Structure 1
Amino acid sequence: MSDAYGATIAKRGLARRLKELRVEAGYTANQVCDRLNWGRGKVGRFEANNWVRPELSDIRDLARIYEGSDLGELEELAGRARRRAWWRDYPEVFGNEFPGFESDASSIRVVMPLVLPGLLQTLPYMQALLSVGTRTPEWRERAMRARLRRQQILDRGDGTAPELTAVITEASLLYEWGDPGDRRTQFAHLLAMSERPNVELRLLRLADGMHPGMSTLVNIFRFPGGEPPMVFLENDADVQEIDIPDDVEAYDEIFEQIRQAALSPADTAEHLRKVISTLE
């Protein structure tokens, strides 16, 4: 497994590998639980990646049953999976492992129907966006800190910064929030980030009409070392994780349709410059 893998991907890879080994050994999940005197459902939870930190003793017990398994490989995965991820310090902000997958991704493709991508937001924009609703001031402050921490992945200088392809809509540039200076700073930040070699920003104009991603925020993550990709769908009600290959491929195709319908990076930059000029 690549050294670039963080705890989230290591945990996911360990869960998948344990299931592969069990199937190869010819056991059902309940048979393994019975042999180890575990409560039924424990192996199923492991294989579904429904755990926080795998216990090394459990991994060794499973390796003993799954003849031919590489204990060293499993222990390495478990060791990485047990690392304390920064986003675990924000349980009230993150209800799932989204920031872990985002941090471990080598490629991020995102469609934002109405707001700007969290990875490209300025602090005043965050403040305006998070002020809407009934959250407490304490929660909002924590959420902003967490979002700023997420953005650090684009600044990694060790060759692991992900490739970000973001499609935003013209509507997201039309909202009035803060003052003109705040908006100018945000749009100038978008322009500056779009000039980075690992960032591609495209604008979908209102004149381009309806498109498949208008009702849902779509994030597509790809990972180093051939780790299977996954999709996160977000709306006001919930977040859905998708890792079934055919479904991921379908969302890839939708994303590419939207990307091709949007302005080119150069035309997007020119559009941003025009918007910025109206705020001066």
Structure 2
Amino acid sequence: MAGRSAPRVRRVRVASELRRLREHAGMTATEAARVLGTSQGQLSNVETARFGVSAARIRAMARSYDCSDQDFIDALVAMAEDRTRGWWEEYREILPVGLLDLAEVEHHATLLRTAVTVHIPGLFQTTDYAREIFRQSVPELSPPDIEHRISYRIKRQAVLFRESPTPHQAIIHEAALRMQFGGPTVTRTQLKHLIDMSEREHVTIHVIPFAAGTFPGSGQSIYYAAGPVPQLDTVNLDQSHGPVFLDAEAQLDKYRVLLDRMEATALPPTKSREFIHHIVQDL
């Protein structure tokens, strides 16, 4: 068995996918351990991410569970073998673990999709805008904690500026554009930055105006990170107590449909950019 050096969230995801493969094959842990020539305890340690797992063992488990999806198996192997310690590790003793997991998922995503109704997506936020949001945290954050969270948020934005930037598709409700976090000056600067980001080739922004009325998924923020294969996609729901990650097949299907329907409700990119321009002029 491999050691514990694999990044936390990816090791957990590999473990959960291996457990799902076993369950889909209709095998109990006892039966699987016997077929694999290991103990039930060792198998449990792998499936609960207490231990890492080698590429050879993953392939052996996939064969035993009659999984023939080679792209999926290769993706699991790549996740298990990745021992990279990302920049987020410097925040390990400073920020909640869920935030570090979010940065890791984001870093490895092949596509990011987000839908928000009351604030600008984190990867597009300016420093002053983010500071105003963090000042409203409950319980109240100390000034040093606020600055740590701001620096963390800005570093997350590197995925949009690296040599091969991650494509980002954002759906933003008009309410989020008109919420004046920090007052007109901060909001104006934030919206101008959003317009600049919308002009980048890998960024697509859709606006849902008030005039669109009701729409699927209203009232919640959705953050969808595509993996190397669809089975390894991840949905993040931003809750007051921290990020919540979903990756069950039915959940992924649901949020894909929700995002597609929200995008169909929204204005196309060019008209969305013009819409944001008009709001800036009103400030």
Same topology, TM > 0.5: yes
Instruction: Tell me the distance in 2 between the aligned counterparts of 1:37 and 1:26.
Output: 18
Q: Does 1:140 align with 2:150?
A: no
Q: Which runs of 5+ in 1 are unaligned?
A: 1-5
Amino acid at match of 1:93: L
Q: Does 1:130 align with 2:131?
A: no
Which residue of 1 is the match for residue 202 of structure 2? 198
Map 1:172-183 to 2 at 5 A.
172-183=176-187
Which residue of 2 is the match for residue 46 of structure 1? 46
With over 3 angstroms needed to count, the CA separation of the structure-2 counterparts of 1:16 and 1:265, relative to structure 1, is same
Q: 1:93 aligns with which of 75, 92, 95?
A: 95
Which residue of 1 is the match for residue 71 of structure 2? none
- Once the two structures are TM-superposed, the CA of residue 191 in structure 1 deviates from its matched residue by 0.3
With over 3 angstroms needed to count, the CA separation of the structure-2 counterparts of 1:20 and 1:146, relative to structure 1, is same
* Paired residue secondary structure (2:236): strand
Map 1:49-60 to 2 at 5 A.
50-51=49-50, 54=51, 59=54
Amino acid at match of 2:142: T
Amino acid at match of 2:198: S
Aligned length: 261
Q: Which runs of 5+ in 2 are unaligned?
A: 1-5, 65-73
Map 1:208-223 to 2 at 5 A.
208-223=212-227
Which residue of 1 is the match for residue 15 of structure 2? 15
Instruction: Tell me the distance in 2 between the aligned counterparts of 1:125 and 1:278.
Output: 18
- 1:154-203 CA-to-partner distances (Å, cap 9, x unmatched) read 0111x3x2211111111112222334332221111100100111111111
Instruction: Tell me the distance in 1 between the aligned counterparts of 2:80 and 2:179.
Output: 46
Instruction: Tell me the distance in 1 between the aligned counterparts of 2:246 and 2:79.
Output: 22
- Once the two structures are TM-superposed, the CA of residue 43 in structure 1 deviates from its matched residue by 3.2
Amino acid at match of 1:47: E
- Once the two structures are TM-superposed, the CA of residue 256 in structure 1 deviates from its matched residue by 1.1
Greater displacement, 253-262 / 206-215: 206-215
Instruction: Tell me the distance in 1 between the aligned counterparts of 2:91 and 2:262.
Output: 33
**Alignment TM-score, normalising by the size of structure 1:** 0.77
Which residue of 2 is the match for residue 156 of structure 1? 162
Amino acid at match of 2:153: R
Amino acid at match of 2:189: T
Which residue of 2 is the match for residue 3 of structure 1? none
With over 3 angstroms needed to count, the CA separation of the structure-2 counterparts of 1:263 and 1:78, relative to structure 1, is closer
With over 3 angstroms needed to count, the CA separation of the structure-2 counterparts of 1:26 and 1:60, relative to structure 1, is farther
Contact 2:116/2:171, CA 8 A, preserved across alignment: yes
**Alignment TM-score, normalising by the size of structure 2:** 0.76
With over 3 angstroms needed to count, the CA separation of the structure-2 counterparts of 1:241 and 1:25, relative to structure 1, is closer
Instruction: Tell me the distance in 2 between the aligned counterparts of 1:167 and 1:117.
Output: 9
Q: Does 1:250 align with 2:254?
A: yes
Instruction: Tell me the distance in 1 between the aligned counterparts of 2:199 and 2:150.
Output: 24
- 1:54-81 CA-to-partner distances (Å, cap 9, x unmatched) read 55xx749968x96989xxx89865441x
With over 3 angstroms needed to count, the CA separation of the structure-2 counterparts of 1:176 and 1:88, relative to structure 1, is same
Contact 1:110/1:165, CA 8 A, preserved across alignment: yes
- Once the two structures are TM-superposed, the CA of residue 99 in structure 1 deviates from its matched residue by 1.6
Contact 2:102/2:243, CA 8 A, preserved across alignment: no
Instruction: Tell me the distance in 2 between the aligned counterparts of 1:242 and 1:24.
Output: 18
- Once the two structures are TM-superposed, the CA of residue 44 in structure 1 deviates from its matched residue by 3.0
